[in-house]
Structure 1
Amino acid sequence: MNWHIEHGDSLFVLPAIPEKSASCCVTSPPYWGLRDYGIPFTDWPEVLYSPMPGIPPVVIPAWRGCLGLESTPEAYVGHIVLIFRKVWQVLKDDGILWLNLGDCYFGTGGDTGNGPNSCVGPTADAAMPKMGRNEKHKNLAAAGLKPKDLVGIPWRVAFALQADGWYLRIDNIWNKLNPMPESVTDRPTKAHEYIFLLTKSSKYYYDSDAIKEEAKQWTGLSATFQRESGKATKLTIPGQNKASHRPDRKREMYPGRIKKDGTKGMPTYAVAPKALSRNKRSVWNVATVNYPGAHFATFPPKLIEPCILAGSKPGDIIIDPFNGAATTGVVSLRLSRRYIGIEHKQQYVEMSRRRIEDDMPLFNRSSV
């Protein structure tokens, strides 16, 4: 099983990958205003993009800095759009993109300013040391945001990519079973992120059978108050008579039943077995996990397994332009796929290589 992790900036490394060579991209870019990962600055060119379909395009001036540390949401979205224009070139025509993004709040330094979802507050102040707090507030206010507003970064990115030609297929919800606590008292604790499925065309490779979920077997019993609760009730379901709710009511006989031996000359019936799987649903309940390394945030392997299984076949190339701790690579190789990761920070490149080699030492070699 082949893999390669390239040290460099995705903006410049992606064009070096052969066009239409990858089947699937699974990635999570740096979130906006969250932290400084200590990577070298990128010289971003001017970017022209439309914030959403039907909206006039905006121009983002050339800028030198790190992705995620832009002064405005618009600049961040523009740079994300530019990166995924490069991803578009690498993906096959029937390839797909799984994009994980989290949101943040326009904080005030109070209960929304120092939590895990704040983009203006102590965390962001440390992440953007060359920009004063007042300037950041001014930029966000100019964008029409108010203190305590949810910025809506995932949807800003999704709509901009849609306007740029991507098909926005679904907004899967990553329901974190162990979310980070927040000190807020005027809204629920945020416990989810988005995993968008985007494609290059309306026809694309997607193996729904590979990620079907376990389903409860249908028993054949009608859904009545009596049997759902286990207690008798005087209430009736519209369209059913009172006899349907008797405590001693017998089982109904349904189409698809299997005849069994009866009693007193009357046959009884059992329900024919039904399929025990269903199409995967759009809320994915997965706990966060930590990888014992230097990287701040890692994918839980269980989160991206269905992305790779549904979006590729064994032997296909999976790419991640924001490699991080190489969780995408580890899962891809476990599932007999090939992997190309791009990582801007040398420390993470070395850590990722060790992680992959330790995970499958006898079967992996670094070459695609």
Structure 2
Amino acid sequence: MSALRKPYWSDEHATLYQGDARQVLAEMADGSVNCIVTSPPYWGLRHYCEDQYGQEPTPEEYVDNLRATFAEARRVLADDGTCWLNLGDCYAANSDGWARGKAYNTRQPKLRPKARLAVPPKNALGMPWRVAFALQQDGWILRNAIVWHKPNAMPQSVRDRLSNRYELIFLLVKQRTYWFDLEPIRQTYTGDRSITRRARTGGTKPNSIKTPWPSPGKYGRTGQDAAGPRHGTAMRPTGQRHTAAHPEGKNPGDVWHISTRPLRAAHFAAFPIDIPLRAIAAGCRPDGTVLDPFTGSGTVGIAARQLGRKFAGIELNPDYCALARTRLHVEAGGEGD
């Protein structure tokens, strides 16, 4: 590990580095961050700058690139830290098997780097899962595959398949025990008023429930569960906590309904701040540091600042470094450039 380079910009809470994610990570100290929240460029989708991730000739090379980068990220992450990785999928495109991309801006090449794909045209390539399984092989523990459902997803003109309405967010950790606080992200109960009333008047503090309440919903209100005499005990819920209603709200689950939020700046794929807000609140110690190796417009840094965590960001594109710096500076109470 060499000495860490001079920051592109920093203040008392945030630091930005310009450069390749893997190279900058290699300069960072072991266990120096507590949480990683990031969304690397998706394979073959957009062209941001030269030497970026996502323009590799084949899916396999893209996976290998991310694999090597996240090996460094795993070293930099504290042993009890969490990593939240957002990735989207793409399709094998035209009839001759060459992957092609759409021009999203004037610097976008009309064709992806020519790559002979190993699957017939129109296949979903499963890029998020390819990366997740590769990281598993490297020792990461995959705790969740969260579905980010986009209620306002852009319309698609396809006629021979269903429109895509979601992306995946993987929760990865280094060891079986790690920092995770469910309380800040619990959601208010809706629907069944009796569950809500019991949760609010249970008289116990979070994490101190000794006798969980029975659920009046899924398994019936009279003690007769859904299994019944016809199916026997094999179908019954395992353990009393299966039917518990927590007084502070419910676990948000692994399907997140979060609308996209357009960013009025020169960045085409900024994800909504709701995602890092939730990930950081649950997966980063209150005095911890959040890292985004693919900072882009700086949304993760803004979320970290709002939640009182420190932030370290890495970005290859100098234009996006400037954009992230401006947004973080404004968030801190400064004026825009």
TM over 0.5: yes
| Residues 1:317 and 1:146: Cα distance change in structure 2 (over 3 Å) | same
| Contact 1:299/1:328 (8 A) holds in 2 | no
Distance 2:90 2:170 in 1: 17
TM-score normalised by the chain length of structure 2: 0.76
Note the 1:28-47 alignment, pairs <5 A. Answer: 28-38=39-49, 40-41=50-51
Q: Match of 1:5, SS?
A: strand
Amino acid at match of 1:219: S
* Residue of structure 1 equivalent to 2:164: 190
Larger Rg: 1
Superposition misfits of 4+ residues, deviation over 3 angstroms: 121-131, 220-224, 237-240
Does the aligned pair in 2 maintain the 1:27–1:320 contact within 8 Å? Answer: yes
How many residue pairs align between the two structures?
280
Q: Which of 187, 202, 207 is the matching residue for 2:181?
A: 207
Tell me which of 109, 123, 126 is aligned to 1:152: 126
Separation of aligned partners in 2, 1:327 and 1:321: 12
Structure 1 Cα separation of the partners of residues 217 and 333 of structure 2: 53
Distance 1:26 1:341 in 2: 10
The verdict on how the C-alpha distance between 1:146 and 1:274 changes in structure 2, with shifts beyond 3 A counting, is: closer
How far has the Cα of 1:314 moved from its partner?
2.3
For residues 321 and 238 of structure 1, do their structure 2 counterparts lie closer, same or farther at Cα, with a shift above 3 Å needed? closer
Partner SS state of residue 306, structure 1: helix
**Residue type matched to 1:328 in 2?**
V
Higher percent of residues as strand = 1
1:234-270 deviation per Cα after TM superposition (whole angstroms, max 9, x unaligned): xxx9979xxxxxxxxxxxxxxxxxxxxxxxxxxxxxx
Paired residue secondary structure (1:313): coil
Alignment partner of 2:100 out of 112, 120, 133: 120
Correspondence for 2:194 among 219, 224, 237: 219
Identical positions, percent: 38
Distance 1:107 1:336, change over 3 A: same
Root mean square deviation of aligned Cα: 2.8
Matched AA of 1:161 = L
2-structure distance, mates of 1:327, 1:109: 38
In structure 2, give the amino acid aligned to 1:120. Answer: R
Where does residue 7 of structure 2 map in the other structure?
A: none
Query: What is the aligned counterpart of 1:357 among 317, 326, 329?
Result: 329
SS at match of 2:46: coil
Equivalent residue for 1:302, pick from 264, 268, 274: 274
Residues 34 and 119 of structure 1 are in contact (CA less than 8 Å); yes or no, is this contact kept in structure 2? no
Name the structure 1 match of 2:91: 105
The one-letter amino acid paired with 2:169 is I
Which sections of structure 1, spanning at least 5 residues, go unmatched? Answer: 42-65, 228-236, 241-272, 363-368
C-alpha distance in 2 between matches for 1:207 and 1:223: 27
- 1:15 Cα shift? 1.5
Structure 1 pair 7/126, CA: closer, same or farther in 2 (3 Å)? closer
